[in-house]
């Protein structure tokens, strides 16, 4: 089913009341990927490619890919049943982000209600590979637990499983997810790009500590019914970590090199900061 021509994105007032959400089984306003592409191309005024998936944790994913750039949008298959107001809200969110407050609220509420109807997928326990070529996550985690999580994980709250992620080349050009915590399988995955000699041990430990904080303070619903992944307690404990500022600075400096290493499958070469280069230069001239 095509969309009416000439219809732009609906501008939603943040003060207006959200309409009742339609959760009927009837086909949605955009039942196919082609319908979604037609809507989003008209709304965003740029090339768009839409595909459907089954991810419940990330029901909407959008990123720019290729040359010339194409805006690739991956939607949960439930969006094929989305009513028109949800379609418009998604287009508005992709256009201006969280500034479209009413659109975001309507979209969040619809996703929350719709995902509750999806059957919980059966997931077998993943195979864990904590031993890397450079770092053993089991050994590192003991240091992290003894310093920052003493007494927190035990018989009542078991320690998450630890594993290095799959050693596959990344497609991302601008970002890299260094670690993740899956609350369903209770597993922490660390990106294998960090399992290299020029990645400092303390930085891998900091990433582990960050993911363990996710296990300690799991996501919760905020006042606006949006998921909060980094709540006040999480942020306070992370900021109190002695390597917090150093880790931020190191990641900012080294992220381009880590992305190149992950994309090309090549060795990571740590970049020296300007201050260190100047110091080494002065020492060499003496």
Segments of the chain assigned to CATH 3.30.2010.10: 137-274
Per-residue tokens: 160: 């998450």
Q: Give the domain 137-274 fold.
A: Zincin-like (3.30.2010)
Q: 275 falls in which pLDDT band (50, 70, 90)?
A: low
The C-alpha atoms of residue 212 and residue 208 are separated, in whole angstroms, by 6
The whole-number pLDDT of residue 121 equals 65
Predicted TM-score (pTM) of this structure = 0.59
The whole-number pLDDT of residue 19 equals 45
The C-alpha atoms of residue 215 and residue 181 are separated, in whole angstroms, by 7
Across residues 218-238, what is the average pLDDT? 81
pLDDT, tens only, 48-80:
999 999 888 789 999 888 888 899 999 999 999
pLDDT, tens only, 85-112:
999 999 999 999 888 889 999 998 999 8
Separation in Å, CA 93 to CA 35, 100, 171, 223, 273: 18, 6, 25, 19, 38
The whole-number pLDDT of residue 229 equals 82
Residue 280: pLDDT over 50: no
pLDDT, tens only, 15-58:
333 444 544 445 578 899 999 999 999 999 999 999 999 888 78
pLDDT, tens only, 174-198:
789 999 999 888 999 999 999 999 9
The whole-number pLDDT of residue 80 equals 93
Three-state secondary structure call for residue 272:
coil
């Amino acid at each position: 089913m095509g969309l009416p021509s000439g219809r732009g994105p609906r501008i939603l007032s943040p003060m207006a009341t959200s309409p009742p959400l339609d959760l009927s089984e009837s086909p949605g306003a955009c039942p196919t990927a082609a319908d979604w592409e037609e809507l989003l191309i008209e709304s965003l005024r740029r090339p768009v490619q839409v595909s459907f998936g089954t991810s419940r944790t990330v029901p909407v994913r959008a990123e720019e890919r290729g040359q010339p750039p194409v805006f690739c949008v991956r939607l949960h298959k439930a969006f094929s049943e989305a009513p028109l107001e949800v379609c418009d809200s998604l287009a508005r969110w992709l256009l201006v982000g969280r500034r479209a407050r009413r659109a975001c609220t309507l979209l969040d509420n619809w996703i929350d209600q719709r995902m509750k109807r999806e059957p919980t997928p059966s997931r077998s326990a993943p195979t864990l590979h904590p031993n890397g070529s450079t770092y053993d996550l089991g050994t590192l985690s003991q240091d992290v637990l003894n310093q920052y999580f003493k007494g927190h994980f035990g018989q009542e709250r078991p320690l998450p499983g630890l594993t290095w992620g799959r050693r596959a080349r990344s497609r991302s050009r601008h970002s890299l997810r260094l670690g993740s915590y899956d609350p369903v399988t209770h597993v922490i995955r660390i990106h294998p790009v960090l399992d290299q000699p020029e990645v400092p041990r303390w930085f891998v430990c900091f990433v582990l500590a960050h993911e363990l904080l996710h296990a300690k303070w799991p996501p919760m619903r905020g006042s606006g019914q949006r998921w909060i992944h980094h709540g006040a307690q999480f942020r306070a404990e992370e900021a109190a970590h002695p390597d917090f500022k150093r880790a931020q600075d190191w990641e900012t400096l080294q992220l381009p090199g880590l992305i190149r290493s992950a994309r090309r499958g090549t060795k990571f070469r740590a970049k020296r900061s300007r201050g260190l280069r100047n110091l080494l230069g002065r020492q060499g001239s003496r």
